Amino acid sequence: MPIYILLSTLTDTGVHCIIERPSCLREISMDIENLGVKVLEQYATLGQYDFVHVIEAPDNESVARVSMELIARGNIKPLSLPTISLNDFISRLSMDRQP
């Protein structure tokens, strides 16, 4: 199943939620899974993005739905990135070089 990266930043509402109730961070993963995708990993990060979720989803449309649902809830602004495994990427590059 395809793997996606969700990079997210907190909104002002999200910051207040975390300050008042830090456990709401776990609810984000549960919300994502309730939308039909599997959370493989999640990390808090320093820098431009506040969190990284590594998810498994059946297709781009499922991830788009997750992103829109998360935006609508008002706590985070996600950026969705589809991934290609390194082996598949190398294989594709090698195929394109074959005569």
Domain that holds residue 85: 3-97
Question: What is the pTM (predicted TM-score) of this model?
Answer: 0.86
Positive or negative, the Cα torsion across 25, 21, 67, 48?
negative
Summarize pLDDT for 36-66 with one digit per residue, the tens: 999 999 999 999 999 999 999 999 999 999 9
In the Cβ-directed half-sphere of 42, how many Cα atoms lie within 13 Å?
A: 13
Containing H/E element for 79? strand 76-82
Total domain count, the chain: 1
The CATH number covering residue 32 comes to: 3.30.70.920
Work out the number of other CB atoms within 10 angstroms of the CB of residue 85: 10
Output the CA angle 62-36-81, nearest 5 degrees.
40
